Chain A
Amino acid sequence: MSRNQAAESNLLALNQQKELEDLPKDYPLSTSEDEGDNDGERKHQKLLESISSLNRKDRQKLAERSEASLKVSEFSVSSEGSGEKLVLSDLLEPVKTSSSLAAVKKQLNRVKSKKTVELPLHREEIEQIHREVAFNKSSQILSKWDPVVLKNWQAEQLVFPLSKPQSVFAPIEHVVSGWKAGTPLEQEIFDLLHKNKQPVTEPLLTPVEKASLKAMSLEEVKMRRAELQRARALQSYYEARARREKRIKSKKYHRILKKGKAKQALKDFEKLQKVNPAAALEELEKLDKARMMERMSLKHQNSGKWAKSKAIMAKYDLEARQAMQEQLARNKELMQKVQAASESEEEEEVQEEEEEPLVPDMVNGVQIKANGLNPWMFQNHFIVAKEAEVQKDLENPAEPEAQETSESEEERAVVEEETLLKEFEERRSLRQKSELNHMAEPVHRHVTKDPSSQEVLSELRALSQKLITENHQSGKQELSSARTAQREEPAREEEEPMLLQRPKRAQTLDELEELGREGCVENKELPRTAVEGLQKEQMIDLQNLLTTKSSSVKSLAVPTTVQELEDEEERDQRQMIKVAFAGDDAIRDFLKEKREAVEASKPKDLDLTLPGWGKWGGMGLKPSAKKRRRFLIKAPEGPPRKDKNLPNVIISEKRNIHAAAHQVQVLSHPFTHHHQFERTIQTPIGSTWNTQRAFQKLTMSKVVTKPGHIIKPIKAEDVGYRSSSRSDLSVVQRNPKRLSIRHKKLLENNCVD
């Protein structure tokens, strides 16, 4: 049945198809050949169509091509056989886009873009991620409590149950000043007071009264106003001028200005010198300080940025070259030792000379001469002429620019400088006078200027020695030569230690005598005693210690022996015997005892030699020294004895183990060094050392609990936090699975990672 139906429907469909296929082809034919037939046929066709359109399902069903045929239905196109894949969109393309199709397209695109869904993570991994997130979150929340914990940890005392911080004690004034009028009556009163400007809190003076107290009289006000006006006007002028001057760019102007300033300074200084020498001295000191600063900073060397740029320019630009030279000159000047400083040195030098006559006078004289300039700076310049030049330079340290200005200016400047530098010259003249004594050998002077050449110095000393001896006409040539020979050796050493050592060398009597003849003894005595004192300090002499000679008593009541008891007599006798026989034996005994004690306290060496090992052993045979040395284990040397430098004392080095048992032997946690811990226990806490209040505070218990009260855990409100953080935390703790959106995102991030 069903097969029949299907066949019928197939046939019917075939018919329809044929008709449909025929239709377009036949259509032109039919119109030309027979219209009548065509009309009827068309109607029938329409009918069929309308009928068939009723059944849509059937319409959809298109016959599949199963065999080759000429007639191919356009509705049953299949892509079978062809290699290409048919894409739906290709088919749809020529068709006009409609809304329904756009949606399809979108869907298609979305489908295309979607990737495959990844496999879900392991449960364990997910849990781990959850835990991590929860941990981060909760630690973040908990970190809010850190300050609270720290505070409690450091608190001197904690009181439980926790109560809100007690209201602090406030003085009555604060309370009153914070008080506000509440009742209408009060408000009224205060209004009244405010209106009349009456003091509300401070009942002493009204503001009007205060103002009237402070007010000035009319004349005063006028005077003051005029004064102020004048001051303001002056100030504005000054400011305007300064502004104008600041804007001037001319270098020449500035140079002139600078010079003018310098001149002015000189003039001022001159004046000051006349009026107030003390102030002038101060100024000089300032100058000196500036020089010292310069010497320290070395600012004017040709190493600055400006100087470098100038150096580049200098090749072509005369001005730049001049500027550079100027700076160099300035540097040179400032680097020199100025005489103002050297004068005191000179005096010292003179004193030294007096103290140490062994250094030949001539040398000192030369040094005085050399003092004028820094020997380090001018080591290589020994020519007199050069020195003179330098001296000249020295004379005008405060006026460097004066040299390269125009001649007339320079002259004027020199005139000014002369007055300023009078003192320098005076000093120089003084020095020259002192030099006059030693004018004899100018050549030598320059030779010995080099301080490093000690041999030369010693030679010179020998020479001078000869001279002196000749002067004295004592004819002790051989002696002096001997002495100089002696000194040749120490001359290699540095000078000062040599001076200290020399007196030791001359300790023999005859030498001393000879020295005395030359008149040097009294000077020599001094350093030697100093040396001896030094030695004495290092080791106290036991003999001296016990035999301190002290003045005998001049007591008013000298004891009388009116009625002596037997024992006293006896004692006196014994005493006399003791005094008579008191001597070194007590000291010797003591020293012996001390030596023994020192020996006993020394760590013992360990001797591991086995007699007979590798050699013959037996009676009378001893292992060789080499063996013994080899198998001797030396004990490490202990710390130095406390009585090392105290000859009259034996201090026991034994440890008091009984007392040590009471000492602290373990360092508690935060301390890393015992000194730290000792510091914390050095303050006594007992009531005998402290006042009652301090004692109570020191012995206050760390934690106080009220009996009969429940101690609840700390809450956020207790420490002034909002309660939200707490609830937040509690939520997290209760169900970590229900996380907020933020947490989920975080989780996702973690997953991606």
Chain B
Amino acid sequence: METVPEPGSNVPPKKDRLQTKKKKPRRYWEQETTGTAAGASPGPPRKRKRNRELRPQKPKKNDTSKKFRMSKKPRELKSPRPQRSLSGAQDPFAGPAPVSVEVVQKYCRIDKSKELPHPKTKTRSRLVVAEAQEEETSVRAARSELLLTEEPGFLEGEDGEDTAKIRQADIVEAVDIASAAKHFDLNLRQFGPYRLNYSRTGRHLAFGGRRGHVAALDWVTKKLTCEINVMEAVRDIRFLHSEALLAVAQNRWLHIYDNQGIELHCVRRCDRVTRLEFLPFHFLLATASETGFLTYLDVSVGKIVAALNARAGRLSVMTQNPYNAVIHLGHSNGTVSLWSPAMKEPLVKILCHRGGVRAVAVDSTGMHMATSGLDHQLKVFDLRGTFQPLSARTLPQGAGHLAFSQRGLLAAGMGDVVNIWAGQGKASPPSLEQPYLTHRLSGHVHGLQFCPYEDVLGVGHSGGITSMLVPGAAEPNFDGLESNPYRSRKQRQEWEVKALLEKVPAELICLDPRALAEVDVISLEQAKKERAERLGYDPDARTPFQPKPKQKGRSSTASLVKRKRKVMDQEHRVSGHRGRAGHPKGNALLLAPLASSTCHFSPVSPYPGQNPPEPGAAAAEAREGQAHGGPAVGPGQIRALSQAPGPRRNILSPRPPVGNYPSLE
């Protein structure tokens, strides 16, 4: 009977009785007496008591570390219990402000997926310190998210209304005057189809017409800085690290002008350049030429770092991955190849289309690549190791130009129409079902770029330049120290010096920017092997397990063998598991749903590569990662985490955004 619980055990009266039995009845005076007892002697004795209470609350080192420890159960960091103050009033918000765990998680950079061998005490203490540091810094960073005040804009149709039906004129009517002024058309039919480029701060715009017209202006105030005609076909135009320098790919050679329109250099080693890309953290100007060469020019020292032969004919499609500074080239055989100046061969070659590739664009998180081909297809690829298409759609005429915005909107120029698709959130791929916006231009699209930190899409076409309003395109918060649209000349010069000091070596560009925070295992192993050879034995080798002799006949040969076998099996299992875990991410990824994958794999990141010309500190973060070389772990993880669907969260800038106010020169 003892195993069978009584069915009637929770019959109410019994329960009641049980309760009375369990609990000693509380005397009504008990509470009172204690109260009065405490009250009766309010003098010295109470004081002593309180002193005793308070002693452990003295700030110790342990306490500070505990303060930052996160408890998983409540989703917020709990502050210690409110202390009673002298006046008897309690601080309702005692302790440090609570921080949500999700936000903190976003700033945690230690990759805990790799399992560690059991550490020794000293090592463990180091690891513990490292983790405590990470936690503290991430909590601080999460707290400072408070300073990101701006919210991204958005366009929302009334129920059932398609946002794509909303015309630019409607948007302009609805927004304030300052924003409405950002929509404009430049009718430049004479020098026909235009390429354009925004500076990194988003303040300046340069454009070059096919027939030699080159101009740069502060597009917000519409103040022209220079306007020249180079009397030669202009293939592409690009700002260098600041708005003061301008690279123009002309018919024969590459020319560099300053903001007065004075020609500073003519780089004859880069001839017949078709496309230009500038890698801001490496100070590299990448040029793709008709001759099939990809050339990296270091603009800080004026040296050509690498000239790579792509062996795929004429190169006319190029873009950069802002996350790791890898250059993507599109080829006529339908492949896209990824290049780094350190490698003579492409890092990755992806077969994307049946026909040739017409346009490539990579989003700022480095997770998605959009390609369009001659087969009229538009595809979005996953760049996080699998390089598989996430979504595809056939367009009636195919897209000739593609561009991603800072917040992941995808713009495609098809003939004289521009379509814009939006995704769920910041790091989600754009869903190609329904366009977010459409706009018809007066000419065929020849260049597309979203303006950084402004909800504006610049379109260069055969009829001139059009500046479109695209709500929610750009990052609302900028990092005042990194790319400040309102910076003065002095500030720009300061920034220039710092940026040059933090320049990242070109050879650090590789697919996984986080590789720099890893140990070079191959050389390590090699060194170990050589050492063992030199010494004649391996000093690190573990002695084979010898079972301890046991008493009372338990030390028989069979049991010894059994014990040995047990240990061996365990080791084997562990090593096998590690091997599997260490190996290809490929398999796991293939099985995982790509779109919704959390940061599990994530292009986690130190940045030997380059970073997103991106919002707030994240961009800056990236850059420093590159500059530091060492323990750089950038926002990769942040991005991966923020990829989760749901309300968008700002990327943090740990520093307060400095110049939020316009300070015009």
Contacts and interface: CB of A to CB of B under 8 A. Distances in A.
A238 interface: yes
B394 A575 contact: no
B120 A670 contact: yes
B40 interface: yes
A117 B55 CA distance: 65
Contacts of B387: 646, 648-649
Contact of A659 (B3, B114, B507, B655): B507
B522 A660 contact: yes
A609 interface: no
B8 A269 contact: yes
Given A656-B340, A697-B136, A269 B7 contact: yes
Contacts of A583: 354
Contacts of B630: 681
A168 B334 contact: no
Contacts, number: 429
Interface in B610-645: 617, 620-621, 623-625, 627-634
A120 interface: no
A684 B1 contact: no
A673 B117 contact: yes
A274 interface: no
Contact of A211 (B32, B115, B117, B193): B32
A615 interface: no
A667 B394 contact: no
B333 A197 contact: no
B395 A553 contact: yes
B624 A689 contact: yes
Interface in B462-511: 462, 482, 505, 507-510
B244 to A, nearest CB: 23
Contacts of B507: 656, 658-659, 661-662
Contacts of A238: 17, 21
B621 A684 contact: yes
A546 B522 contact: no
Contacts of B355: 575, 578-579, 582, 586
A694 interface: yes
A662 B505 contact: yes
Contact of A551 (B8, B388, B394, B438): B394
B429 interface: no
Interface string B31-70: 1100110111111001100110010001100000000000
Contact of B482 (A190, A272, A575, A688): A688
A682 B396 contact: no
A557 to B, nearest CB: 5
A659 B516 contact: yes
Given A193-B43, A200-B42, A672-B119, A559 B32 contact: no
A659 B342 contact: yes
Interface footprint category on B = 35 or more
A228 B25 CA distance: 7
Contact of A684 (B126, B515, B631): B631
B661 interface: no
B389 A683 contact: no
B625 A659 contact: no
A269 B9 CA distance: 10
A690 B110 CA distance: 14
A563 interface: yes
B300 interface: no
Interface in A532-575: 537, 540, 542, 545-553, 555-565, 568, 574-575
Contact of A207 (B21, B38, B59, B522): B38
Given A201-B47, A559-B414, A575-B374, A679 B25 contact: no
B334 A176 contact: no
Interface string A117-136: 00000000000000000000
A662 B86 contact: no
Interface stretch (B195-203, B439-447, B560-568, B569-577): B439-447
B185 interface: no
Given A684-B109, A691-B140, A546 B353 contact: yes
Interface footprint category on A = 35 or more
Contact of A675 (B116, B162, B334, B527): B116
B628 A663 contact: no
Given A662-B516, A676-B123, A678-B519, A644 B7 contact: no
A655 B343 CA distance: 9
Interface stretch (A245-253, A282-290, A462-470): A282-290
A363 interface: no
Contacts of A560: 415-416
A174 interface: yes
Interface in A589-645: 589-590, 593, 639-640, 642-645
Contacts of A178: 47, 51
A649 B654 contact: no
A414 interface: no
A71 B608 CA distance: 130
Interface string B110-133: 110011110110110111011101
Interface string B536-550: 000010000000000
A261 B417 contact: no
A529 B447 CA distance: 46
B6 A261 contact: yes
A234 interface: yes
Given A193-B43, A557-B440, A690-B141, A680 B376 contact: no
Contact of B117 (A231, A266, A672): A672
A332 to B, nearest CB: 14
B351 A590 contact: yes
B43 A556 contact: no
Contacts of A670: 120, 122-123, 126
A95 interface: no
B51 to A, nearest CB: 6
Contacts of A1: none
Contacts of B621: 684, 686, 688-689
A221 B343 CA distance: 90
A225 interface: yes
B159 interface: no
Nearest to B131: A679
A232 B25 contact: yes
B58 A170 contact: yes
A216 B116 CA distance: 63
- Interface core residue of A398, A589, A650, A691 (most chain B CB under 10 Å): A691
Interface in B328-349: 333-335, 340, 342-343, 345-349
A651 B519 contact: no
B389 A545 contact: yes
B519 A649 contact: no
Interface in B503-537: 505, 507-510, 515-524, 527
A679 B518 CA distance: 9
Contact of A652 (B11, B130, B346): B346
B443 A563 contact: yes
Contact of B349 (A286, A293, A563, A650): A650
Given A649-B387, A697-B136, 18 more contacts: A550-B393, A553-B396, A553-B419, A557-B417, A639-B583, A640-B584, A642-B586, A656-B342, A671-B123, A672-B119, A679-B110, A682-B517, A684-B628, A684-B633, A688-B624, A689-B141, A689-B654, A691-B655
Interface of A: 154, 168-174, 176-178, 190, 193-194, 197-204, 206-208, 210-211, 214-216, 221, 224-225, 228, 231-232, 234-235, 238-239, 258, 261-262, 264-269, 271-272, 279-280, 283, 286-287, 290, 293-294, 299, 334, 398, 401, 537, 540, 542, 545-553, 555-565, 568, 574-575, 578-579, 582-583, 586-587, 589-590, 593, 639-640, 642-646, 648-652, 654-656, 658-667, 670-694, 697-698
18 contacts: A177-B50, A206-B39, A207-B35, A214-B31, A214-B32, A228-B27, A235-B25, A271-B8, A537-B590, A557-B440, A568-B415, A659-B507, A662-B508, A676-B117, A686-B628, A691-B140, A691-B654, A698-B137
Top 3 A-B pairs ranked by shortest CB distance?
Answer: A207-B39, A268-B8, A559-B415
